[in-house]
Amino acid sequence: MATHERKYVIIGNGVAGTTAAEVLRKNDPNCSVHLITNEPYPLYNRVSLPRFLQGKLQEQKVMIRDFAWHEQRNIQLVTETLVTSINTDERVVVADNGQHYPYDALLVATGGWANPLRVPGTQETQHIYNFVTLDDTKTIIARILESRTALAFGGSFISYELCDGFAMRKLDTIWLMRGPYWLRNALDPDGGEVVDNIAKKFGVEVIHGDEIEAVIPRDGVPSYVKTKKGRQIQTDMIGVGLGISLNTKILAGTAVEVHKGIVVNEYLETNVPGVYAAGDIAEFFDRTINRHHTMGTWDNALAHGKIAAINMAGGREPYIDVPTYTSPLFDVNIAVVGSAESGNPELEIIARREPGEKGNENYRRLFFRDNKLVGVLMIGSPKGRKKLVDLVKDQHVFATPAEREAVLTLR
């Protein structure tokens, strides 16, 4: 560990950045830590935003840290400040408040911002919402309270969270998506139908294979939406879940390698000395699948923050973990473990659909590479999830088709 006073700068105070700040302080009482964010809040729980949206959780329960927590640890939290550039030769971060923040080691933990809807009419129309931040959530709730109808658009995780929120708040909800079924990169038509049936139980009308062509405003609010297939959908508000774009722009002009995200090795180091990346933004080398990829999950970001901080302070610890994503999906659960990609020709994929509880179905999809379980997608009951995570971690070999089939019913 470092013995002289080191300067650490962290861009982004999500779970990756805030965890890194905490670990740096624990490991080095004498260092300086600047944690910079464009948002006005200390760390809050993004995973809890859907339940806040649905009205099942109060705003204060969404907050994880307060300003005092940072003061007590001598972590300089700089809010409402956008980092605009980085000079990796001079080792300095430049922000829109005019300040320059010098660093010995820098962590970029900037996550991603939601892709907006770009069709004719959006510029002239209010009440079209992305759903990523606490402020997004507050604004959506305010509009829900004065609305009767809502449209959720997209085939991403965020689109179902929006749809779920609208339906739980008793709006007449339509869920419109381009693909033939939800989450088409990981599910198959059977899995898509299971999700549709759950949504329909909550009164949601699901429309596949169509998309918004234009928003037609009246007095600045959506009057109706015109779709490519010629539908006209009346709605008071539109929730948009069209994925996120990773915030890599601040690295423009540096030698830091950027692909989809910021490319880092298993120690979360970039190719430029002193610069690290963690969380959603990191395109990290994943030893469990032997290649680089990005992973947009809370647990992954938290673990990255910890490992990055250890290595920034002179340690040498690789990130080795099986990423997991769990979330409520209307009145059931969805869990994704490891690498669950339909389009990957290297994977053997098997699935099972069976009756579940509360009139829902259970659906399980397994992804094998070289007879080892590398990915799992479960909808419905979460029973058996922990055993499946362990099987992915252990790299257990399932030599015969019968052995692989048996994993479909493992509880």
Q: Which residues bind ligand FAD (CB under 6 A)?
A: 11-17, 36-39, 46-47, 49-50, 82-83, 109-111, 131-132, 158, 161, 247, 250, 279-280, 296-299, 301, 325, 327
Closest CB 370 distance from ligand FAD, rounded Å: 27
Closest CB 409 distance from ligand FAD, rounded Å: 26
d(CA 386, CA 382): 9
Considering the complex, state which of residue 17 and residue 192 has its C-beta at the smaller distance from ligand FAD.
Answer: 17
Considering the complex, state which of residue 76 and residue 223 has its C-beta at the smaller distance from ligand FAD.
Answer: 76
Considering the complex, state which of residue 13 and residue 147 has its C-beta at the smaller distance from ligand FAD.
Answer: 13
By DSSP bridging, strand 75-78 and strand 32-36 are parallel
Q: H-type helices in 33-131, by residue range? A: 49-54, 59-62, 67-72
d(CA 254, CA 232): 47
Cβ–Cβ under 8 Å, residues 210 and 195: no
Closest CB 205 distance from ligand FAD, rounded Å: 22
Considering the complex, state which of residue 36 and residue 105 has its C-beta at the smaller distance from ligand FAD.
Answer: 36
Closest CB 214 distance from ligand FAD, rounded Å: 26
d(CA 159, CA 180): 15
Considering the complex, state which of residue 83 and residue 151 has its C-beta at the smaller distance from ligand FAD.
Answer: 83
By DSSP bridging, strand 282-286 and strand 291-293 are antiparallel
CB neighbours of residue 232 within 10 Å: 10
Taking each helix axis from N to C terminus, what angle separates 189-201 and 157-168, rounded to the nearest 10 degrees? Answer: 20
Half-sphere exposure of 108 (CA within 13 A, CB side): 33
Considering the complex, state which of residue 30 and residue 87 has its C-beta at the smaller distance from ligand FAD.
Answer: 87
Strands in 124-219 per DSSP E: 128-129, 149-153, 172-176, 205-207, 212-218
Q: Which of 159, 201, 150, 153 is nearest to 176 (CA)?
A: 153
Cβ–Cβ under 8 Å, residues 234 and 224: yes
Closest CB 247 distance from ligand FAD, rounded Å: 4
Closest CB 335 distance from ligand FAD, rounded Å: 10
**Strand-pair partners of 173:** 150
Closest CB 272 distance from ligand FAD, rounded Å: 17
Considering the complex, state which of residue 47 and residue 258 has its C-beta at the smaller distance from ligand FAD.
Answer: 47
- Evaluated on CA atoms 338, 340, 345, 347, the torsion sign reads positive
Closest CB 23 distance from ligand FAD, rounded Å: 14
d(CA 76, CA 93): 15
Closest CB 263 distance from ligand FAD, rounded Å: 16
Residues 6+ apart with CB under 8 A from 83: 11, 36, 38, 93, 94, 95, 96, 110, 250
Considering the complex, state which of residue 161 and residue 361 has its C-beta at the smaller distance from ligand FAD.
Answer: 161
Considering the complex, state which of residue 28 and residue 280 has its C-beta at the smaller distance from ligand FAD.
Answer: 280
**208 burial level (CB within 10 Å; 0-12, 13-18, 19+):** middle
